[in-house]
Amino acid sequence: MAEDFPAVSGTLVERAPFRRRTGAVVTSAALAAALFGGVTGGVVGAMSAPGATTGAVGSPAAVQAGSTASSAASADVSAIAAKVLPSVVQVNVTTARGEGLGSGVVLSADGRILTNDHVVDGAREVTVTLADGRTANASVLGSDASSDLAVLQAEGVSGLTPAVFADSDRVRIGDQVVAIGSPEGLQGTVTSGIVSALDRTVTVPATTGRRGASVSYQAIQTDASINPGNSGGPLVNAAGEVVGVNSAIYSPASESGQAGSVGIGFAIPSNEVQRIVGQLA
């Protein structure tokens, strides 16, 4: 099951990877066209497959505002991970096209969870795997295909640790950031890097494989490693606050159709995320 990602000059920028359970990442420039940085290219989707080694709603109050800390100095990534990992889940879906997975961010103690719309698009069944290994059924409370965001409600859970959201307008090029999620089904994977660009225009037109209108946003670009399965997971600053939701990667196409991180990833800024969650609420 492939989702769409933008491409540049024939190479592929994949929508922050949601991975298909079948294993390999499916890419196809024929799926759609995308525009970012002024260059037109193809769009390809990726879903993460779990397995092998082993992307109406909450109230705005559920999205916590946090202060933004500068990452000019090297941060303790282990401390960031320890703070944020309890707020990150794996999102498992079953659709007519098969099974797949992505990542999600806890919004409230009673189980409201943020992810990408493309992670749950067409889902017949959704479950979430919490950081402590528990699994819960979940329903889609609200989704917005045009911003590629969705909010889930996990059933029968309490006492979860909501993530803290920072002001993405205060993010600067060179800030240290950490990405957390389930690339290739490897839950709780932590990667680090810097903000490599800001206000990168990413547009993914509607395709036959997606419902609704095109997806377009001004993204935070990072060199933190993001791969299929990271879709919907958080990009956090040196204070462990969410500055973006990982949603796309740049990945050159190969003859085998495989795609993965080459050090250029994109995240929907946290301020946009909070605005959309507020509208859904």
Which DSSP state fits 31? S
Which has the closest alpha carbon to 6: 51, 48, 38, 52?
38
Per annotation, catalytic residue among 48, 87, 103, 118? 118
The residue from 4, 117, 121, 148 that is catalytic is 148
Report the distance separating Cα 198 and Cα 173, nearest Å.
7
Phi, psi of 169 (to 5 degrees): -70, -15
In the annotation, is 71 catalytic? no
Q: Active site residue: 143, 182, 192, 231, which one?
A: 231
For this structure, is 48 an active site residue? Answer: no
- Burial pattern 172-195, b for ≥16 Cβ within 10 A else e, equals eeebbbbbbbbbbbbbbbbbbbeb
Say whether 169 is catalytic: no
Q: Say what the alpha-carbon torsion angle 83, 260, 39, 172 is, to the nearest 10 degrees.
A: 20
> CA 153, 159, 164 angle in degrees (round to 5)?
75
DSSP for residue 275: H
Catalytic positions are: 118, 148, 231
